[in-house]
Amino acid sequence: MRTQVGIIGAGPAGLLLSHLLHLEGVESVVLEERGEDYVRQRVRAGVLENTTTDLLREVGLGERMDREGLVHGGISLRFDGADHRIAFEELVGRNVTVYGQQEVVKDLIDARTRDGGQILFDISETAVHDIDTDRPRITFRDADGQPQELVCDVIAGCDGFHGPSRKAVPHEAYDHTYPFAWLGILAKAAPTREELAYTFHERGFALYSMRSPEITRLYLQVAPDEDIKEWPDDRIWAELHTRMAVDGESPVLEGPLLDKGITAMRSFVATPMRHGRLFLAGDAAHIVPPTGAKGMNLAVADVRLLSRAVTQLLQHNDSRLVESYSDTALHRVWKAEAFSWKMTSMLHVSPTADAFQRQVQLAELRYTAGSRAAMTAIAENYVGLPW
């Protein structure tokens, strides 16, 4: 098999990169170890920055998003028994859209299929070779278990933290693990509020969000080694009501659970994001805690940059953008890491924090809620920094 760009991973990063390259007349093949049904349904992040929604519209992927997505003009910080709104549109003139990652993936798969794009699902034993040459290769077994080889001009590793791409790039790792995790549920219950609410409570952080007019997405801070079996539905609902109540009233409407799981919290950056003709994008290069809603948006920023760099290389023999790709991408990555770390540190209860540290957190929250400058800084980062 032969193509210009071999893309490992059919998440938002890999699929969007394939779509952007197609628009520039560059061929690609996307390889994915999971089956198509799984990829279409896996529940992930759901907050799209204003820069992300603008890009999706620009490249013809905004129709269903604009029809079904939920536009949010702000978020709330809930602490001291009160709700404190940060008004994005008033502060920075922009907003965010809640539209699940799986919905973006569905739109991308449909677009690539419609345009004749190649996406090979259910592959295995993926490995990269000859990345220091101008003809790198990807070997794998196809859905029938037959060995295959894909010869490329460029390889894009969009295969997440555990995929083979990152391991093939000599890199320095910056890694930070947080002393807590998120227990997340997806509930068939109509949202009772129009915007996300981030709650600081003495029992731990809680987040109220939504995925559609019928589905809510809710999170609780738990210990990183927590056993999901110890959290029956009744216990989850009771804890959500306790942590999110303001003036004795909780915004949470209960309903049947569609999904339940525990996610570890970490920050990770691999630098550089390139070695030879192999380029990393998305979770293969960096991970942020979900508090700042940056994961998928960073992947979009990566592949927007990478698609332009690869097009310049393959169509004009101009290597300047590929040479600067890693440094340029990491400049944005570290800003997102800083914002996500700040939001996480400000809103979560550390199991090792003493009374002094808890009061410092509250002081920071009170300052943020009372300062237009502090709220503007959060709004500017949350809606997405300029490209």
Fold classified for 177-265+348-383: D-Amino Acid Oxidase; Chain A, domain 2 (3.30.9)
Task: Read off the pLDDT of residues 190-229 as tens digits, 9 standing for 90 and up.
Answer: 999 999 999 999 999 999 999 888 999 999 999 999 999 9
Q: Which of 22, 275, 290, 325 is catalytic?
A: 290
C-alpha span between 226 and 218 (Å, rounded): 17
Residue 382 annotated in active site = yes
Residue 129 annotated in active site = no
- What's the pLDDT score for residue 45? 73
DSSP string, 49-117: -HHHHHHHHHTT--HHHHHH-EEESEEEEEETTEEEEEEHHHHHS--EEE--HHHHHHHHHHHHHHTT-
Q: What angle do CA 321, 322, 324 make, to 5 degrees?
A: 65
Q: Which of 19, 201, 286, 294 is catalytic?
A: 294
Write the burial class of residue 93 (CB in 10 Å: 0-12 exposed, 13-18 middle, 19+ buried).
Answer: exposed
CA distances 105 to 13, 16, 43, Å, are 9, 9, 11
Nearest to residue 152, comparing CAs of 280, 307, 6?
A: 6
Task: Read off the pLDDT of residues 171-183 as tens digits, 9 standing for 90 and up.
Answer: 999 999 999 999 9
Task: Read off the pLDDT of residues 307-340 as tens digits, 9 standing for 90 and up.
Answer: 999 999 999 999 999 999 999 999 999 999 999 9
Residue 100 — very low, low, confident or very high, per pLDDT cuts 50/70/90? Answer: confident
Residue 294 annotated in active site = yes
Residue 44 — very low, low, confident or very high, per pLDDT cuts 50/70/90? Answer: confident
Among the CATH numbers 3.20.20.70, 3.50.50.60, 3.30.210.10, 3.90.79.10, which is that of 5-73+96-174+267-342? 3.50.50.60
The structural domains of the chain, with segments of one domain joined by +, span: 5-73+96-174+267-342, 177-265+348-383
Residue 72 annotated in active site = yes
pTM comes to 0.95
Nearest to residue 97, comparing CAs of 382, 317, 332?
A: 382
Please tell me if the domain spanning 5-73+96-174+267-342 has the same topology as the one spanning 177-265+348-383: no
Task: Read off the pLDDT of residues 154-173 as tens digits, 9 standing for 90 and up.
Answer: 999 999 999 999 999 999 99
Q: Which of 178, 198, 208, 219 is catalytic?
A: 198
Across the range 46-56, mean pLDDT stands at 95
Nearest to residue 380, comparing CAs of 95, 97, 52, 58?
A: 95
Q: Which of 19, 22, 72, 84 is catalytic?
A: 72
Count of Cβ atoms closer than 10 Å to residue 122 Cβ:
15
Q: Which of 208, 219, 325, 382 is catalytic?
A: 382
